[in-house]
Amino acid sequence: MNSVALAHLTEQAEKARTQAAQLLAEDRNNKEKIAQQLQMLQQYRHEYALQLQQQMRIGIQSTMLGTYRAFLASLDRAIAQAQEALTQNEERVAKSKQKWLEKQRRWQSFDLLQERQHASIKQQRERAEQRQNDELSLTMYLRHRRKTT
């Protein structure tokens, strides 16, 4: 494979890897936001349930009790939705991570091929230079030998 084509493939693989990394970072950030929202909802539900218990100890009207229970039920639904969203986002993060790993491996493969190609070219140049030096040394030696004989 010529070096221009390999360089192009390596560059494209690096772009794909970078895009996959950005997507993974976005998915992780979204997961963190959802987890924080879930935690906030759970904390709010806990506090509201404690308020209800306190109100029940001192006596509460049935309409207020119904309001508390309806609100707790809506919090429970919101918590369930947030948990579902978190589960889905965790799956998305896992897929994004897998995709990034694939792009990373592909880029590493092309990068390794490019490194090997550069090393091979360098070795060929060094051998050619050594050959030239050997030929020049031999020529100078033979000239010097002719002059002395």
Both structure tokens of 101: 């790993």
Domain 3-148 has CATH 1.10.287.1700: yes
- Residue 36 — very low, low, confident or very high, per pLDDT cuts 50/70/90? very high
What does the domain layout of the chain look like in residue ranges? 3-148
On the question of pLDDT at 30 being above 80, the answer is yes
On the question of pLDDT at 77 being above 90, the answer is yes
**pLDDT tens readout for residues 102-125:** 999 999 999 999 999 999 999 999
Furthest-apart CA atoms within the chain: distance in Å: 127
On the question of pLDDT at 41 being above 80, the answer is yes
What does each C-alpha distance from 86 to 28, 73, 114 come to in angstroms?
Answer: 11, 20, 41
- Residue in the structure block whose two tokens are 């897998």: 98
CB 75 within 8 A of CB 43: no
On the question of pLDDT at 2 being above 90, the answer is no
> What mean pLDDT do residues 81-107 have?
97
Q: Report the number of secondary-structure helices (H) and strands (E) in the chain.
A: 2, 0
Check residue 142 and give its pLDDT.
Answer: 87
Both structure tokens of 30: 């979204």
